[in-house]
Amino acid sequence: MKKPDSPQYYHDYLQLDKILNSQKLLSKELGESAHEEMLFIIIHQIYELWFKQILYELDSIIDAFDRKKVRESHIGISTSRLDRIIEIQKILIDQIQVLETMTPMDFLDFRDLLIPASGFQSVQFRLLENKLGLEESSRYAYEGSSYKSYITDEHKKLIEEVEKAPSLFELVEKWLERTPFLEFKDFNFWKQYRIAVSIMLNSDRKHIKENDRLSKKEKNVHLQAYEKTESMFDALFDEDKYKELVDNKERRLSYSATKAALLILLYRDRPILHNPYKLLSRLVDMDELLTTWRYRHALMVTRMIGRKIGTGGSTGFSYLKETAERHRVFEDIAHLTTFLIPRSALPQLPDNILRNLGFYYNER
């Protein structure tokens, strides 16, 4: 890389004149300066800068997976970049504490000046959601209208372009579907795993029935609840039942991708599966932190405006709480822990398969 001809000056390199002069207080321009407006602007500008960095990292991960064969080295790099996104998310959550040093009365000094501007119009956040894989059909629609109806035509076009491109969810799903470990010659893993699951479920049922500390009524309640767990396992072993769940929007991850992800989780200690396991774990971490941020944001809004309508016209807390509960992308991967069984109960893999799951595995 060629060095610049002239030496760099810190202030100029960071373009601090642009950054530090970009806080325009509406209250001051109207002759009634509200002290807390400066904090409000800076906090949200910082959010947008962090969103930009997250999108930058996310684009590189999407690029690594947007190919027929994902390199093993790209899995490690993508995991490291997800680690960075996760650390940024933690900062975004902590940043709310700084904003909460502003009291509700302080906010009221300039709140009406913001109408109808709202964080709902953050284009970068919408791009982030779409790149992760949030489908428009899964979105909580405020008053039944599209989230794109509240932004400019220019921004709407930008978002629609991203909607047409493959999301991280879709690319990870295809990568999992290509996992070469789903079929083993001369060894039916899923048959052996199903036997192990059956033994575990029968043992659990026996524990419930023989638990003297439970009343007859309590045992029936526990057994009825356990039937739901058993029905989830039934769907795991029956592709047609699983596809029904997908058709009913109860699942999103494809059947083959689900089996591949589960295998990775079950045998994550095997060398060649450790990086894929870390990647899947980071996707779940990122999804959970985004949900945590939404909840934390909703609580902060309640603290600031109670049950008032938001500046953008939404129902404030109710809207934010609903999105936190419904806008998860990698929930299917998180729920795979339902199907984990103790290491001691896992089917014993033959030596040739164990060798293939080492670092010297040859796909051909």
pLDDT confidence bin for 274, thresholds 50/70/90: very high
pLDDT confidence bin for 68, thresholds 50/70/90: confident
DSSP code of residue 136: G
Query: How confident is the model over 232-253, as pLDDT tens digits?
Result: 999 999 999 999 999 999 999 9
pLDDT confidence bin for 183, thresholds 50/70/90: low
Q: Give CA–CA dist 78/229, Å, rounded.
A: 33
Percent of the chain with pLDDT over 70: 93
> Phi and psi for 247 in degrees, rounded to 5?
-60, -35
Domains of the chain: 33-183+250-343 (1.20.58.480)
pLDDT confidence bin for 315, thresholds 50/70/90: low
Q: Which two tokens stand for residue 1?
A: 């890389």
Q: Which two tokens stand for residue 245?
A: 């769940």
Residue 189 pLDDT > 80: yes
pLDDT confidence bin for 308, thresholds 50/70/90: low
- The reported pLDDT for the residue numbered 140 is 82
Residue 44 pLDDT > 70: yes
Q: Give CA–CA dist 205/225, Å, rounded.
A: 11
pLDDT confidence bin for 351, thresholds 50/70/90: confident
Q: Whose CA is closest to 280, among 197, 165, 173? A: 173
Q: Which two tokens stand for residue 354?
A: 């164990």
Residue 312 pLDDT > 60: no
Mean per-residue pLDDT, 149-173: 94
Q: Give CA–CA dist 18/334, Å, rounded.
A: 42
- The reported pLDDT for the residue numbered 98 is 96
- The reported pLDDT for the residue numbered 317 is 72
Helices 72-99, 271-305: crossing angle, 10 deg rounding: 20
Residue 35's CB: how many other CB atoms inside 10 A? Answer: 13
Query: How confident is the model over 119-150, as pLDDT tens digits?
Result: 888 999 999 999 999 998 888 876 667 888 88
Mean per-residue pLDDT, 313-328: 76
pLDDT confidence bin for 313, thresholds 50/70/90: very low
- The reported pLDDT for the residue numbered 284 is 98
Mean per-residue pLDDT, 93-113: 94
Mean per-residue pLDDT, 162-169: 97
Residue 186 pLDDT > 80: no
Full-model pTM: 0.90
- The reported pLDDT for the residue numbered 182 is 56
Residue 3's CB: how many other CB atoms inside 10 A? Answer: 7
Q: Whose CA is closest to 333, among 279, 294, 291? A: 279
Q: Whose CA is closest to 336, among 245, 246, 262? A: 262
Residue 77 pLDDT > 60: yes
Q: Give CA–CA dist 158/301, Å, rounded.
A: 28
Residue 65 pLDDT > 80: yes
* Higher pLDDT, residue 53 or 180: 53
Query: How confident is the model over 207-219, as pLDDT tens digits?
Result: 899 888 889 899 8
Give the residues across from 187 on adjacent strands. Answer: 184
pLDDT confidence bin for 361, thresholds 50/70/90: very low
Start-to-end C-alpha separation, the chain = 39
Q: Which residues of 195-209 are buried (b: 16+ CB within 10 A; e: fewer)?
A: ebbeeeeeeeeeebe
Cα Dmax for the chain: 83
Task: Identify the residue whose tokens are 């930058």.
Answer: 56
pLDDT confidence bin for 204, thresholds 50/70/90: confident
Q: Which residues of 233-268 are buried (b: 16+ CB within 10 A; e: fewer)?
A: bebbeeeeebeeebeeeebbbbbbbbbbbbbbbbbe
